[in-house]
Amino acid sequence: MVKEAEVREPLILGKDVTYHSITEDVCRPIEGKAGKLWWLLFSVAVVLAIWGTGMILYTIGRGIGVWGLNNTIDWAWDITNFVWWVGIGHAGTLISAVLLLFRQKWRMAINRSAEAMTIFAVIMAALFPGIHMGRIWLAYFVFPIPNQFGSLWVNFNSPLLWDVFAISTYFSVSFVFWYIGLIPDFATIRDRAKGPIAKKVYSMLSFGWTGNAMAWIRFEEVSLVLAGLATPLVFSVHSIVSMDFATSVIPGWHTTIFPPYFVAGAVFSGFAMVQTLLLVIRKVLHYEKYITIQHIEMMNRIITVTGSIVGVAYLSELFISWYSGVEYEGYAFLNRATGPYWWAYFIMMTANVVSPQLFWFKKLRTSLTFSFFLSIIVNIGMWFERFVIIVTSLHRDYIPSNWSMFHPTFVDIGIYLGTIGIFFTLFLGFTRFFPVLALNELKSILKSSGEAYRGKDTGH
């Protein structure tokens, strides 16, 4: 076994952690009863989910007019939320795929929940292009399926169509990747399950996993292949989402910097969301041993790096808008910063560029409370980034007679909160029925990186 260097911080804390205790710790929430805090959070999430669903049905029943959109601003909260959720959905696959390829062992404590978050976030994201359609009942028109109209085909020039492919591919690969990883853990739960229903369900979910050496070899191989497949997708999805804007003619959208800038932003917001969720899980499920300060710090470092990339992108945009000498472009960015939506721009700048810089201080980046607070701030900031890009570019574009303002309605707000509700309903369900930590993978690093085994091997 490869041994970690002594100077490295152990990734699994606690002198008493054994292979068995990992299993016990991971299975406890699944096998035991939920605590009061879980129920409280779950109730809130379900209420929001129901409210949001109601708002969605209301929109479908009455028309998009119940939102605050208008002739000038034809996208606002819908696509803001869409991009926001897609962005959040980036972290999971990045953590599991990219970090797997780079053999970063610290990913093992966080990849499972991060991937789950990805899946749920992408589902939330995929909801918006659907419900923002004027005629959702004809949504199947966007798929290149044979139809009775003869040669009528989708428009392959349209970035929206690229979105359809990008997101469905990303979702499928992420889901498979996540699920493959779950199989050995489901098998463990199956083996321990006492109830007949649980046994049956987990048997089915674990696909008859035996845990023999051959199975493990294949498991490793598939994981590696999928990681290879998923890695480019991490970069492609948000690049393509950014092209919804970049390929248009609207000043403030028509920007070549968008693909890398959006990917960086997505990783930034995704890690922030992972951070938020991890800190909650760590606290609620008492996973301090597995999700250590070191993990949190690593995450914070990535947040700082990506946040800085985003900051550079913001500044480049401003510079280019001035340097280009294009009247409309120059005005679009000046208007962002100083126009009627200056406050949104200010929130974006503060939350995304200034706040992550605080993580240069070790004290702050190792503080759980501060990390939690900042992760929320970053998520707010990234929501405003998308809002700023979409709404402030549209609200004052080429012809001043069209200039307009956007005012959200209760339906806009309801649907947004609703998706947060649905997301957390799913995620909290996940914490009750799924192994939140990749227990079998964790076991693989227990000896090399676990505090409990450190002393034994060196003999001191």
- Residues that bind another protein in the complex, under the rule CB under 8 A: 62-65, 68-72, 74-75, 129, 132-136, 138-139, 141-142, 152-155, 157-161, 164, 244, 247-250, 320, 323-329, 331, 334-335, 338, 394, 397-405, 407
Nearest distance from C-beta of residue 232 to another protein, angstroms? 23
Nearest distance from C-beta of residue 382 to another protein, angstroms? 21
Query: Which two structure tokens, joined as six digits, stand for 312?
Result: 């550079």
Q: Angle, nearest 10°, between helix axes 159-192 and 19-31? A: 110
Please tell me whether residue 151 adopts helix, strand or coil conformation: coil
Question: Of 321 and 355, which CB lies nearer to another protein in the complex structure?
Answer: 321
Q: Which residue has the tokens 């690969």?
A: 173
Q: Of 7, 71, 13, 22, whose CA–CA distance to 440 is shortest?
A: 22
Q: Of 93, 145, 150, 146, whose CA–CA distance to 118 is shortest?
A: 93
Question: Of 62 and 362, which CB lies nearer to another protein in the complex structure?
Answer: 62
Please tell me whether residue 450 adopts helix, strand or coil conformation: strand
Question: Of 57 and 334, which CB lies nearer to another protein in the complex structure?
Answer: 334
Nearest distance from C-beta of residue 401 to another protein, angstroms? 4
Q: Which residue has the tokens 């004290």?
A: 363
Q: Angle, nearest 10°, between helix axes 77-88 and 111-131? A: 160
Nearest distance from C-beta of residue 403 to another protein, angstroms? 4
Query: Is 96 within 8 Å of 104 (Cβ atoms)?
Result: no
Q: What are phi and psi of 450, to 5 degrees?
A: -85, 140
Nearest distance from C-beta of residue 171 to another protein, angstroms? 18
Question: Of 72 and 308, which CB lies nearer to another protein in the complex structure?
Answer: 72
Q: Of 207, 198, 203, whose CA–CA distance to 179 is shortest?
A: 207
Nearest distance from C-beta of residue 81 to another protein, angstroms? 15
* Chain centroid to CA 373: 18
Any residues with CB less than 8 A from the CB of 272 and at least 6 apart, and which?
303, 374, 375, 376, 378, 379, 382
d(CA 280, CA 341): 33
Nearest distance from C-beta of residue 133 to another protein, angstroms? 5
Question: Of 154 and 305, which CB lies nearer to another protein in the complex structure?
Answer: 154
Question: Of 341 and 359, which CB lies nearer to another protein in the complex structure?
Answer: 341
Nearest distance from C-beta of residue 310 to another protein, angstroms? 22
